[in-house]
Structure 1
Amino acid sequence: MSKGKKTNFWNFFQMLGKTFMFPIALLSISGMMLGIGAGFTDPNMIGMIPFLGNKYVNLFLQLMTSLGLFAFSNLGALFAMAIPLGLLKKEKEIGAFSALVGFIAMHLGTNFYLNQAGLLVPAEDMAINGQAMIMGIQSYNTSVLGGIITGLIIYAIHDKVTNFKMPESLGFYSGARLVPIVSLLLMGAVGLIVPIVWPPVLHGFQTVGSWISSSGPIGYFAYAAAERITIPFGLNHLVTSTFRFTPIGGSAVIGGQEYFGTLNMFMAYVENNQIIPLDLAGKMEQGKLMIQYGLAGAALAIYRTAKPEKRKAIKGLLISGVLTVIIGGISEPIEFLFLFISPALFAFHTVMNGLGNMILPYLGVHMGFTGDLIQFLTFGVLRGTETGWPMAVAVAALYFVIYYSVFKWAIVKFNIKTPGREDEDIEIGNNGGSDFNGLSTYKGQQMIAALGGRDNIVSLDNCVTRLRLGLKDVSKINESAIKQAGGIAVVKLNDNAIQVIVGTKVYALRKQMDKVLDGAI
């Protein structure tokens, strides 16, 4: 494979990982609603807080639970629509609509095949036969994979279909209107193939998931480490999404229904007010909670080892990063402060993530999905001490001490140039890099100038914390100026592609840059 093809392949998977953030953002809120609703309607919780037993309060909490289940009940459709919505450069709404049409058509095709072949089973036997009701259609439970396949197919055919020249008599159906029509027919045909290819694929996924579960602590460590290693490349969401929403994460029959993927199983246990088993706890990324507080210790070490005259300048950057990782569960703003200047510290960080994920289940911590403070309170504290949250707090405190000690020792011992220790005099600014309170047009203009000017920018996009740029010539960028404009770090992918780590206000910055590039400013 040539260098150009490798670059395009790599960039495509980075963009694919970004599209997953659409449903994941909804899932995070839905999960909180589900956790709060199910937790506060639990009889034990009502016994402790009688107010929760009030008719109207209880009805409101039941509604919250139902709304929280929405995203988890329609994951396939959400992922199908998210892919063309995120990948297409134009007519995104047509792509998303066509993906929904195609997703439904695929399951209608599968249902037709199963019905004609006499393979439809009664409702009580659907779980054990890998079938489920998908948007009111009895079909094979392809879970999110069905949605991803649909989304990728629609993305692949969109431009070809819209550019297809129809006879003048059929001109009404040409262009964008033709895409959902083709999606209906094509995905209906794909649905006829699903019953042939899905059973062996499902068996293979279950084998991988079983290996991870049966590998015990080794599997739990490997999964968490792989998720962390992919952070620098923006591909971590591909790893977690695969385990969270597909049979690779395992399967379980809960309340008479079969669920695939760690997050789907976890939410089913929450809905039924059950504590998750050990093998699921080991695949629920519980180690992330530990490294959140570990990174807080690392931030303190960076502050304490900074030059005294520069501590005030980096304080905002570090405080913003700590709040982001603890409250929002987004670790990149702190990780990218040391990732590229000390890969050894990031390797230590990766190992600590794996260790946290590995040991917590055996210490009785079965909280599950605790990616941020709200989730920790919702799925840990509010569900009782049976989740093991007191032990998690103790281990998190230990992680804070370990990270602080190791980072402080390494920074001083090896003279690592963390923020505040640089030889050159780089201004970080009062907003601390990742915090763009009072964002002005000038920030966008300043960043464009630092990237070599508007003529050097070929493409501009963003994910949750970083700008993704295609450039004519990477050598024209000024990294010091990028930091002054709010960047935390620069990731050089190749001679024509970089990422600029910004933080949670990256979207606002990108919109300002769009206005400048479009000539609106």
Structure 2
Amino acid sequence: MGGFKKGLQNLGRAMLLPVAALPLAGLILRLAAPDMLNVPILMAAGNAVFGNLDILFAIGVAIGFAKAKDKGIPAMTGFLAIITLKQGLLIIDKTIDMGIFGGIISGLIAAWTYNRFKNQKLPMVFSYFGGEKFPLTMVLVFQTIAAFIFGYIWPVIQAGIDQFAKLLMGMGAIGVGIFMFLNRLLIPFGLHHVMNTYVYYDMGKYTAPNGQVFHGEITRFINGDPKAGLFLSGFFVIMMFGVPAICLAIYNAAYKDRKDEVKGIMGSGATTSFVAGITEPVEFTFMFISPMLYVIHAIYAGLAGFICALFNIKIGFTFGSSIIDYLINFKIATNPILILPIGVAFFALYYFTFYYLIKWKSIPTMGREEVQDYGEEATADEENLSMGSKNYEYTAKKMLQAFGGKENIEEAYSCNTRLRVEVKDPSIVDEQKIKQMGVSGIIKPTENNFQVVVGLEVTYVMAEFGKLLDSE
């Protein structure tokens, strides 16, 4: 089970790489549309990304699973894997469309091929093709076989996926509510990306006037599908109204002498959610302190999706269901103005629910927790340190020490808001010292895997963390 969970975690992480290319491409595509700036060459640039999602995901997954510091050859292996599969399927059956699943499968095969054959030795006359280059040859063989297999079994699988999509979409508002509920509920495990990927980039089908075919709620909405956006509209309610309301509730529920401290953190969290559509810095401040509050949050998210669907609100996003996407996509959306009154209602619902439950149940949310005992070994700098200090080099150094030094690090990387570290010996990890760094929380999906919730500054912390790992 631990290996399975780790594999899903790695898959979610690998998907973040190609997804990182989508926000700007989506914004370009929207701004260049005929009803806005009307710049065809910019639209072509945006479509170059959204029209090749399977290739992006193949490369991203190959990079994510390949065991190598230099990811160049794994990326090339992923690219060769997907184009070999696509060409093989065209010969067998031109109607087969594996979408991003083809990319994910190709990426997984490419990563396995690279890890298995990267040290392969060949006779001297063929030595140039050995070592790290050998996977480039072997992946062509494996993907030719894969094309033959999927050419005959995928039509059945494709029919099953289509039925699932139709079931989910056919459930109307209930289907939307279920999706949004699960979306929030899976965040603590980092598995929401797996489910999101299908809904966002593969569910449904739309043929544009120029004959190009697009899949997924996000992609179809951006390209003018009038049926797309139903599964996305509820997120605007949560990001623009729900999470800021949680921040206000936590701030007002904080003890009087702690309000100034909480104000900065919660104010930043609310702004990040409203402007960037990123909610984890806020959610991780209470999800493990009070699972009850987090389940309520997930239920309210599902309810928001359900209500938005009932009112036939269809609006998409590329940046993160924030005010930016709301304003940019307002013109091509269906009933987007209704998000505002619904959002105000959910702001009140979230605020009063969280505020009164925190007070009634004496939940130790930020500003209400007991004063931490940092121990005799903690320095004054450690006790006062927070992400607001911007001292990322110092933070990374102390965090690495708390993880047991670089000798204890098996792997380290970051996602949107988390520093994810796999250690060799979890017994020597000092979680208390990590918490002293001013992080929002620590998650352990498996015994050897730690996820430190840093926030948006995780990129800078990881940069310094990586330097320390690479140092002699």
Normalising by structure 2, report the TM-score: 0.91
Q: How many angstroms does 1:8 deviate by?
A: 1.9
Q: Which residue of 2 aligns with 1:443?
A: 395
Q: Cα deviation per residue 1:305-364 (whole Å; 9 max; x = unaligned)?
A: 112222222222212211221221111100011100111111111011111111113224
Q: Which residue of 1 aligns with 2:22?
A: 27
Q: Which residue of 2 aligns with 1:495?
A: 447
Q: Does 1:350 align with 2:328?
A: no
Q: Which residue of 2 aligns with 1:212?
A: 168
Native 8 Å contact 2:250 2:365 kept in 1: yes
SS in 1 for 2:285: helix
Q: How many angstroms does 1:252 deviate by?
A: 3.8
More displaced stretch, 476-485 vs 169-178:
476-485
Q: Does 1:186 align with 2:142?
A: yes
Give the partner amino acid of 2:365. Answer: T
Give the partner amino acid of 2:282. Answer: I
Q: Cα deviation per residue 1:475-509 (whole Å; 9 max; x = unaligned)?
A: 54444432331311011234322211111111211
Q: Cα deviation per residue 1:243-298 (whole Å; 9 max; x = unaligned)?
A: 2223xx233444355433222322332xxxx6x23xx4332x32211111211011
Q: Does 1:86 align with 2:64?
A: yes
Native 8 Å contact 1:94 1:176 kept in 2: yes
Alignment partners' CA distance in 2, 1:478 and 1:245: 40
Q: Does 1:243 align with 2:199?
A: yes
Q: Cα deviation per residue 1:417-445 (whole Å; 9 max; x = unaligned)?
A: 11111112479988864x56x33421112
Over 3 Å counting, the alpha-carbon distance change for 1:111 and 1:335 in structure 2 is same
Q: Does 1:68 align with 2:46?
A: yes
Q: Name structure 2 gaps, 5 residues minimum.
A: 375-381
Q: Does 1:288 align with 2:235?
A: yes
Give the partner amino acid of 1:64. Answer: L
SS in 2 for 1:387: coil
Q: What is the number of residues matched between the two proteins? A: 460
More displaced stretch, 83-92 vs 335-344:
83-92
Alignment partners' CA distance in 2, 1:431 and 1:69: 45
Q: How many angstroms does 1:454 deviate by?
A: 4.4
1:506 to 458, 463, 468: 458
Give the partner amino acid of 2:233. Answer: Q
Native 8 Å contact 1:286 1:360 kept in 2: yes
Native 8 Å contact 2:221 2:315 kept in 1: no
Q: Which residue of 2 aligns with 1:484?
A: 436
Alignment partners' CA distance in 2, 1:195 and 1:443: 51
More displaced stretch, 209-218 vs 488-497:
488-497
Give the partner amino acid of 1:331. Answer: T
Over 3 Å counting, the alpha-carbon distance change for 1:287 and 1:462 in structure 2 is same
Give the partner amino acid of 1:448. Answer: L
SS in 2 for 1:20: helix
Alignment partners' CA distance in 2, 1:485 and 1:225: 32
Q: Which residue of 2 aligns with 1:264?
A: 219
Native 8 Å contact 2:5 2:445 kept in 1: no
Q: Which residue of 1 aligns with 2:364?
A: 417
SS in 1 for 2:121: coil
Q: How many angstroms does 1:65 deviate by?
A: 1.6
Alignment partners' CA distance in 2, 1:476 and 1:193: 47
SS in 2 for 1:367: coil
SS in 2 for 1:338: coil
Native 8 Å contact 1:302 1:419 kept in 2: yes
Q: Name structure 1 gaps, 5 residues minimum.
A: 1-5, 46-51, 53-57, 115-119, 121-130, 132-139
Native 8 Å contact 2:275 2:322 kept in 1: yes
Give the partner amino acid of 1:78. Answer: L
Q: Does 1:299 align with 2:247?
A: yes
Q: Does 1:37 align with 2:32?
A: yes
Alignment partners' CA distance in 1, 2:358 and 2:32: 45
Alignment partners' CA distance in 2, 1:473 and 1:419: 31
Normalising by structure 1, report the TM-score: 0.83
Give the partner amino acid of 1:250. Answer: G
Give the partner amino acid of 2:458. Answer: V
Alignment partners' CA distance in 1, 2:366 and 2:408: 28
SS in 1 for 2:169: helix
More displaced stretch, 184-193 vs 391-400:
184-193
Q: Does 1:371 align with 2:321?
A: yes
CA RMSD of aligned residues (A): 2.3
Native 8 Å contact 1:206 1:251 kept in 2: no
Alignment partners' CA distance in 1, 2:385 and 2:326: 28
Alignment partners' CA distance in 2, 1:336 and 1:326: 17
SS in 2 for 1:290: helix
Native 8 Å contact 1:317 1:432 kept in 2: no
More displaced stretch, 389-398 vs 233-242:
389-398
Native 8 Å contact 2:32 2:42 kept in 1: yes
Q: Does 1:102 align with 2:102?
A: no
Over 3 Å counting, the alpha-carbon distance change for 1:412 and 1:474 in structure 2 is farther
Native 8 Å contact 1:313 1:429 kept in 2: no
Q: How many angstroms does 1:111 deviate by?
A: 2.6
1:324 to 272, 277, 295: 272
Q: Cα deviation per residue 1:384-431 (whole Å; 9 max; x = unaligned)?
A: xx6222210121122222211111101100111111111124799888
Native 8 Å contact 1:80 1:149 kept in 2: yes
Native 8 Å contact 1:281 1:367 kept in 2: yes
1:161 to 117, 122, 131: 117
Alignment partners' CA distance in 1, 2:386 and 2:342: 29
Alignment partners' CA distance in 2, 1:157 and 1:264: 31
Alignment partners' CA distance in 2, 1:185 and 1:501: 42
